[in-house]
Amino acid sequence: MLIINTSKTYSPIGIFDSGYGGLTILKELVDAMPQYDYLYLGDNARAPYGSRSFDTVYEYTLECVNHLFDKGCELVILACNTASAKALRNIQQKDLPGIDPKKRVLGVIRPTTEVIGNYSKTKHVGIFATAGTVSSGSYIIEIQKSFPDLTVYQETCPMWVPLIEANELDNEGAEYFVKKHIDQLFAQSKDIDAVILGCTHYPLLRPLIEKHLPEGVVILAQGSIVTHGLKDYLFRHPEMEAMITKNNQLDFLTTDSAEQFDRNASLFFGKEVNSKHLSL
């Protein structure tokens, strides 16, 4: 039985991910803006989303966003590139007006694509992401809006999330798959000088990625970019900022086992967490 206060005195920022990856974003948000309440929801029972169809990711994401709204959230961040790529636009344009036009759902792709051009001299940039994010073309579409002179190369990394979820970061298998996808990206263009880790799980592979990336290539850290973007958003929307409750409260929900979530979450969040199970 969930015991989360849903009165108006509890209106946290909702953070959604298919599983654990969004915790890498939450960690940076909490470090930078500890005053707010945050409610994290990981749909671990149905993760990974990366290989699922557009309709399925949209349906699952909307269901989870509605749960966060029911718990009191006015603002929800899709801290998942796959959900941002496949569900965000529909939720913003089709669903929110009917649910509550004052509520907001934001993603992690737009803030990243709005700055990528500032990091590239060669104008060739690379994206590592899940199959769903790559096939959506969202990064290419969004980057063209902000930096039409950039050429974008994408690389699907289907093994990276399963390796991370299975806690297999320290073995040769992980290194093999990291190197393989870096080589494949750079086989598309040797001129790439900036890459986006376009999946919120991938920061856990950063040491291995840094080891195999060609020298001088910049890695964009999505956590700090999203944090900066949210700060700016709240500054520009004081009516939303005023609605978010500020008691430094952190709550975690998972659609799978809470014990298992707590065991694995600290790897992503850097601290112990105490989650509750949410039945969908």
With CB under 6 A as the contact rule, the residue among 12, 14, 16, 18 that binds ligand DGL is: 18
Question: Do the beta carbons of residue 168 and residue 135 sit within 8 Å?
Answer: no
One symbol per residue from 37 to 56: x for binding ligand DGL (CB under 6 A), - otherwise; what is it? ----------xxxx------
In the complex, least distance from residue 98 CB atom to ligand DGL, rounded to whole angstroms: 26
For position 112 contacting ligand DGL by CB under 6 A, the verdict is no
One symbol per residue from 80 to 99: x for binding ligand DGL (CB under 6 A), - otherwise; what is it? xxx-----------------
Closest CA relative to residue 38, chosen from 84, 91, 76: 76
Q: What is the footprint of ligand DGL within residues 184-223 (CB under 6 A)?
A: 199-201
In the complex, least distance from residue 132 CB atom to ligand DGL, rounded to whole angstroms: 7
Cα–Cα distance, 100 to 167 (Å, whole number): 39
> Chain-centre distance of CA 79, in angstroms?
3
One symbol per residue from 149 to 188: x for binding ligand DGL (CB under 6 A), - otherwise; what is it? ------------x---------------------------
Q: What is the footprint of ligand DGL within residues 125-144 (CB under 6 A)?
A: 130, 133
Task: Pinpoint the alpha helices (H) of the chain.
Answer: 22-32, 54-70, 81-86, 88-90, 96-99, 109-113, 131-136, 138-146, 160-165, 172-188, 206-212, 222-236, 238-243, 258-269
Cα–Cα distance, 203 to 223 (Å, whole number): 9
DSSP 215: T
Please work out, in degrees rounded to the nearest 5, the angle formed at the alpha carbon of residue 158 by the alpha carbons of 46 and 141: 90
Of 74 and 202, CB closest to ligand DGL = 202
Using the rule CB under 6 A, give the single segment among 26-34, 74-82, 97-105, 143-151 that binds ligand DGL.
Answer: 74-82
CA torsion sign, 225 to 270 to 260 to 254? negative
Of 153 and 202, CB closest to ligand DGL = 202
In the complex, least distance from residue 223 CB atom to ligand DGL, rounded to whole angstroms: 11
Question: With contacts defined by CB under 6 A, how many residues of the chain interact with ligand DGL?
Answer: 17
Cα–Cα distance, 196 to 115 (Å, whole number): 11
In the residue annotation, 199 being an active-site residue is answered as yes
Q: Of 64, 73, 80, 157, which one is the catalytic site residue? A: 80
Active site residue ranges: 80, 199
Residues in contact with ligand DGL by CB under 6 A are 17-19, 21, 47-50, 80-82, 130, 133, 161, 199-201
